[in-house]
Amino acid sequence: MDKLQNFSDWLHDIIKPDNILLSIRDAARASNVTDAQVRYWIKNGYLRTVKADNGAIKLPYNQIASIRMIKFFLDDGYTLSGAAKKTQENKDIARSIRHLVFSSIHNIEKHGNKTIFDLGPIDEDPEKHIFGIETPEKITYVIK
């Protein structure tokens, strides 16, 4: 049985978005858009950038989600400003997902072909936890 203590802290340290910076070209390739599109979206304030130590303009890793959403909405027929607005509206959902992942998973254990996620205590009885049990076929939830 493998157990990862303080999983959310461990996961957050690994994929801390502000620590992972991408070049414009890498961000474009990761998002299936052109470098020119990314530069234009940066110029118009739709994407957040930072300056690297060497002075190069970089995009934090979490901007990939914004690029992909903008592209999705553009492909769906929105104008650029409309796509950017829809992207901003959907960022709250992305924030909620990050919060769920980073704060809800307390531990993970592996038992044979099952991965057991401790999703934390329930409000009514803090001694009981909700567990997600993932197998190759499905995910089930139990309270113990």
- Write the pLDDT tens digit of every residue in 60-111: 988 998 999 999 999 999 999 999 999 998 888 878 887 887 778 888 889 9
Contact 117, 131 (CB under 8 A): yes
Q: What is the pLDDT of residue 14?
A: 63
Domain boundaries, the chain: 17-103, 105-143
* DSSP assigned state of 18: G
- pTM exceeds 0.95: no
Both tokens of 55, joined, read: 């002075």
If one compares 9 and 30, the residue with the highest pLDDT of the two is 30
If one compares 94 and 121, the residue with the highest pLDDT of the two is 121
Q: What is the pLDDT of residue 44?
A: 96
- Which architecture characterizes domain 17-103 according to CATH? Orthogonal Bundle (1.10)
Q: Are strands 114-121 and 107-111 parallel, antiparallel or unpaired?
A: antiparallel
Please check the confidence at residue 2 and state whether its pLDDT lies above 50.
no
Q: What is the pLDDT of residue 40?
A: 97
Please give the Cα distance from 70 to 37 (Å, whole number). 10
Contact 129, 118 (CB under 8 A): yes
Q: Give per-residue pLDDT as tens, 12-52.
A: 666 665 578 999 999 999 999 999 999 999 999 999 999 98
Phi, psi at 38, each rounded to 5°:
-60, -45
Q: What is the pLDDT of residue 11?
A: 64
